[in-house]
């Protein structure tokens, strides 16, 4: 019940964050050099034609006034139409959302599925060979740009081994196996950085518990084997920092999909965002930003509420406060 009572205030913060991101994005993209009318008509257009299209699109109005007009329509569910091809923003963005969500979901699955066993193996012998290799691999992933990781992945798995296609996308509804084959390499590229965060976080948290927590000392005194302590207590208590990191990493994955989708030719919202920014298609950019901002905030809201479900003591602590 405590989580339900706090829901309105959390939703209010969600709306505030999305609104702030939209304001910042709108003003920044309108400060970019160039003119949308010129991008639509081409370099051969006359000044009269450019001026006419500028007035038709309402681009001759002050930026704050244009934002208020957009916001008033967006509140009613109308995000406008593309300035380039006049397609409604919803029609342009919505079909691409499942593609990006699939990549993000697979990347999280890969990252968590690899980070948990890697951290468990490394924490058994702190400072050992496996622990050092994990640290080296994690720092390498953090220091390497996603586009370079993507090129390395393509070189190994697509060009040398011929296991997966270099680029392209097959919808899941047409061919499920084909869809997974085209999604595997982009998702693997996206998973590299989250894997580094997850594995180092888990390893550090479990190592601290093994050396400092009283319940570990008590369990050892009772004769509980190290494996039982590690899997039955320490790993379970590391769920909370892991959940927090998953929420924070969601924004990283969605943002990283912009580059990864372009490398692998994936028709998600990331590739659409790059196209729209290049053509200064403000309504489409804002529609994508609204989705990304709302997704990140909602994921963090859900994780925050899950804390009370996973550990009821958190609910009691909040209630007492």
118 and 64 in one domain?
no
- What CATH code is carried by the domain that includes residue 203? 1.10.3720.10
Q: What are the backbone angles phi and psi of residue 9, rounded to the nearest 5°?
A: -65, -35
Same domain, 52 and 147: no
In a domain, residue 294? The reply is no
pLDDT band with cut points at 50, 70 and 90 for residue 154: very high
Tell which residue, 261, 274, 230, has the closest CA to residue 124.
230
Structural domain of 48: 2-81
Helices 282-310, 269-278: inter-axial angle, 10-degree rounding: 150
Q: What is the pTM of this model?
A: 0.80
- The string of pLDDT tens digits covering residues 158-185 is 999 889 988 888 888 888 899 999 999 9
Q: Round to whole Å and give the CA distance between 215 and 213.
A: 6
Whole-number Cα distances in Å, 177 to 107, 151, 170, 174, 184? 17, 23, 9, 9, 10
**Domain match, 76 and 140 both:** no
Note whether residue 201 is domain-resident.
Answer: yes
Please check whether residues 167 and 268 belong to one and the same domain.
yes
The domain tally of the chain equals: 2
Instruction: Please say which residue of 81, 104, 139 terminates a domain.
Output: 81
Tell me: do 225 and 200 sit in the same domain: yes
Same domain assignment for residues 125 and 31: no
pLDDT tens-place string over residues 277-308: 887 788 888 888 888 888 877 877 777 777 66
Q: In this structure, are 101 and 51 located in the same domain?
A: no
Please give the distance of CA 128 from its chain centroid, rounded to a whole number: 33
Q: Is residue 291 part of a domain?
A: no
Give per-residue pLDDT as tens, 48-83: 777 887 777 777 778 888 888 888 888 888 888 887
CB 89 within 8 A of CB 276: no
Which of residues 32, 50, 81 is at a domain's end?
A: 81
State which of 52, 81, 110 marks the end of a domain: 81
| 200 is a domain residue | yes
Please provide the DSSP assignment of 167-230 as one string.
S----TTT-HHHHHHHHHHHHHHHHHHHHHHHHHHHHHHHHHHHHH-HHHHHHHHTT--HHHHI
Statement to judge: residues 177 and 270 lie in one domain: yes
Does residue 108 sit in the same domain as residue 68?
A: no
Quote the CA–CA distance of 133 and 260 in Å, as a whole number.
26
Label residue 309 by pLDDT band (50, 70, 90): low
Q: What is the pLDDT of residues 229-279, one digit of tens each?
A: 676 667 777 777 777 788 778 777 887 788 888 889 889 888 888 888 887
pLDDT of residue 319: 46
Same domain, 153 and 274: yes
166 with 112, same domain?
A: yes
Q: Do residues 181 and 74 both lie within one domain?
A: no
pLDDT exceeds cutoff 50 at 316: no
């Amino acid at each position: 019940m405590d989580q339900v009572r706090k829901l309105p205030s959390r939703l209010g913060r969600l709306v505030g964050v999305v609104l702030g991101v939209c304001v910042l994005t709108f003003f920044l993209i309108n400060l970019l050099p160039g003119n949308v009318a010129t991008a639509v008509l081409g370099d051969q257009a006359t000044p009269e034609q450019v001026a006419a299209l500028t007035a038709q699109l309402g681009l001759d109005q002050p930026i704050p006034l244009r934002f208020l007009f957009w916001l008033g329509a967006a509140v009613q569910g109308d995000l406008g139409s593309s300035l380039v091809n006049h397609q409604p923003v919803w029609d342009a963005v919505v079909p691409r959302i499942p593609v990006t969500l699939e990549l993000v979901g697979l990347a999280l699955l890969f990252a968590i599925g690899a980070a948990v066993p890697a951290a468990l193996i490394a924490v058994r012998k702190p400072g050992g060979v496996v622990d050092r290799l994990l640290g080296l691999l994690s720092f390498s992933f953090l220091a390497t740009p996603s586009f370079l990781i993507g090129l390395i992945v393509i070189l190994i798995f697509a060009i040398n081994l011929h296991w997966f296609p270099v680029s392209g996308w097959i919808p899941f509804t047409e061919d499920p196996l084909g869809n997974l084959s085209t999604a595997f390499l982009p998702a693997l590229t996206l998973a590299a950085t989250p894997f580094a965060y997850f594995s180092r976080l888990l390893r550090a948290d479990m190592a601290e518990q093994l050396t400092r927590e009283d319940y570990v000392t008590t369990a050892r005194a009772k004769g509980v084997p190290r494996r039982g302590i590690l899997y039955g207590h320490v790993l379970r208590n590391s769920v909370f920092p892991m959940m927090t990191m998953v929420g924070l990493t969601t924004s990283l994955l969605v943002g990283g999909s912009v580059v990864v989708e372009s490398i692998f030719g994936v028709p998600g919202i990331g590739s659409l965002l790059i196209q729209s920014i290049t053509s200064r298609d403000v309504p489409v950019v804002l529609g994508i930003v609204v989705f990304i901002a709302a997704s990140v905030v909602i994921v963090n809201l859900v994780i925050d509420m899950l804390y009370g479900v996973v550990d009821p003591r958190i609910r009691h602590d909040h209630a007492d406060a």
